[in-house]
Chains A and B, each alone.
Chain A
């Protein structure tokens, strides 16, 4: 029977012989040096500086800064915002990418443009839009006041502004991915008797899980660090409407540098943790794949 050529896993011996069409050594050295310098200067140095400055006045000041009640409420608010904004945007991103890549419908291009809107707009403007809509003098101001609903200068406003600003991340990550993957696996699933929902869970989601994870990580990072839009809508009410970035700004404005950097280390640690989780998941999947 044809096709009995056994498939060899990648067991080719690892010769380190230089292929004849590689760049000359000096080009490689220069390019690598430039990349490392750039990374070092703009990424590693600032990160190290944050930690150095945070412990500048000793451990006691560091601990006092991060257990300060206002700092704690800022941390809680940031976490609350992430817990609401990121899942919502993930669901939206998956739904929008799925609709765009698997179907033809009128208004498709409009949807794609709208998804890109938050990137085109300055975050400050984004915050201003919400103020214009929901503040007491805004478009819906009277209705909201009558129903005693506070959006601006309150937590809902912060959540809304963050959702707006981080809206595109998951969708933009998934749309090209799903478009490239096409619809044939979904069609195969349907032809085998699976309905839409089952096809989505068993076929579509597993195929996009890495794109989805990466989009969520980007969304998460941006949501934690969002400053401009949140600053406009929050009102900076200490202990109530300050997220971590806002709290850091306040501390820095009051010349409490060590405290400011201390809170900044928390944000950096959050970022490092998400990256570590991502790497671990990738490594585990690679292991599972190569075991077959």
Chain B
């Protein structure tokens, strides 16, 4: 079931939550709406579900316009951030609910409902907990029940609102994998909202990066990470180091050093900012090609297999963040307050006039 969102706008009082959103989601895709708080991603999801209505614009499921159709007729499965399980029903009854409330004509027989619920319990690996009540479940278990409940009605579209936001890191990772596998097996068109870029990059087929009610960029995880369209997308999808300088003939000049920049040869001399990921910073003890910047290590932070370094540039006193592997760190034998040379292995350039930085 493909979804087309046409010029959707929504405001809450004087706050413009969504502005002219245009989006097309193909059948069977798993799409992430990624953005910071207030970007409008949850509002958009709820409008697709019918829990809110857009001020302007239209929404199509396949070729049918469903803008004015109520939620209960849209056949969507919605998974809430805080699960919204029915607290007075046990796990079994929660999952069976969608089938139980069907009008008599379309309601399956009791034994068919039982069978379906048991299948789903097996799928989410919660068979022993069928008689438990939501208050007696852990967060991860509750979320799996919520998913099973949404899947029970065989929805055409699955919508998830920050489904793993309230869970701890290990459970989140496991459920992410599980959702991805589930999607690979069942191919339901799915949209999930998240503010965690790692989650979006890990799970989604395509990512819609949103900010302030607008869509910043749409693309595959590879696309938005390697080829961000603007500083916001670059910054949101990972940490960033800024190199302010002048761009001339494919080279970004900063004081005494010049960096080669890909793909902008035709630009004339103008102010530009280079964006570099921490793991694209190369650290060395010597400045052999005279193309590196002198910097002092101010902070060393070991996180598992990666070492985070905070450095202060000698020429501008700006701070840089670098990430190197533990082996590289050990081979260089770095210590705080030592001076090293840094240079970016690749950088992306944006121009200040086009974007407010």
User: Residues of A at under 8 Å CB distance from B?
Assistant: 1-5, 7, 9, 184-185, 187-195, 198, 202-203, 206-207, 289, 292
Contacts and interface: CB of A to CB of B under 8 A. Distances in A.
A4 B76 CA distance: 29
Contacts of A1: 125, 174, 178
Contacts of B178: 1
Contacts of B88: 206-207
Interface residues of B, number: 43
Contacts of A203: 86
Contacts of B174: 1-3
Interface in B120-134: 125, 129, 131-133
Given A3-B171, A184-B82, A189 B131 contact: no
A3 B144 contact: yes
Interface in B129-158: 129, 131-133, 136-138, 140-141, 144, 149-150, 152-153
A3 B125 CA distance: 10
A191 B111 CA distance: 23
A199 to B, nearest CB: 8
Contacts of B152: 192
B101 A188 contact: no
Given A1-B125, A202-B101, A292-B136, A192 B141 contact: no
B57 interface: no
Contacts of A189: 86, 97, 101
B301 interface: no
27 contacts: A1-B125, A2-B174, A3-B138, A3-B140, A3-B144, A3-B171, A3-B174, A5-B138, A7-B137, A184-B80, A185-B84, A185-B87, A187-B51, A187-B80, A188-B78, A188-B84, A189-B97, A190-B70, A191-B77, A191-B150, A192-B97, A192-B101, A194-B101, A202-B86, A206-B88, A206-B89, A289-B133
Contacts of A195: 72
Interface string B304-315: 000000000000
Nearest to B94: A188
A191 B97 CA distance: 11
Given A3-B171, A192-B152, 18 more contacts: A2-B140, A3-B174, A7-B137, A7-B138, A9-B136, A184-B84, A189-B101, A191-B71, A191-B78, A192-B97, A192-B98, A193-B75, A193-B102, A194-B97, A198-B101, A207-B87, A292-B131, A292-B133
Contacts, number: 91
A187 B51 CA distance: 7
B80 A188 contact: yes
Contact of A191 (B51, B87, B89, B138): B51
B180 to A, nearest CB: 14
A191 to B, nearest CB: 4
Contacts of B175: 2
Contacts of B87: 185, 207
Nearest to B126: A3
B170 interface: yes
A254 to B, nearest CB: 53
B6 interface: no
B203 interface: no
B139 to A, nearest CB: 8
A193 B153 contact: yes
A191 B72 contact: yes
Contact of B101 (A184, A193, A206): A193
A3 B141 contact: yes
A7 B312 CA distance: 50
B346 interface: no
A191 B157 CA distance: 11
B124 to A, nearest CB: 9
Contacts of A192: 72, 77, 97-98, 101, 149-150, 152-153
Given A185-B87, A292-B131, A2 B171 contact: yes
B254 interface: no
